Amino acid sequence: MTRDEIVLAIKDIIATIAPDEELGGLEMEVRLRDQIELDSMDFLDIVMELRKRYGVQVPEEDYMQLATLKGCVDYLGPKLESKALVLTALKG
> Residue 76 CB: number of other CB atoms within 10 A?
23
Q: In the predicted model, is pLDDT for residue 92 greater than 80?
A: no
Indicate whether this model's pTM tops 0.95.
no
The Cα-based distances of 74 to 22, 28, 81 in angstroms read: 23, 11, 11
CA neighbor of 9 nearest in space, from 67, 69, 61, 68: 69
Q: In the predicted model, is pLDDT for residue 5 greater than 80?
A: yes
Q: How confident is the model at residue 91 (pLDDT cuts 50, 70, 90)?
A: low
Domains and CATH numbers, the chain: 3-80 (1.10.1200.10)
CA neighbor of 17 nearest in space, from 50, 54, 44, 42: 42
Per-residue pLDDT reduced to its tens digit, 18-65: 999 999 999 999 999 999 999 999 999 999 999 999 999 999 999 999
Separation CA 50–CA 45 (nearest Å): 9
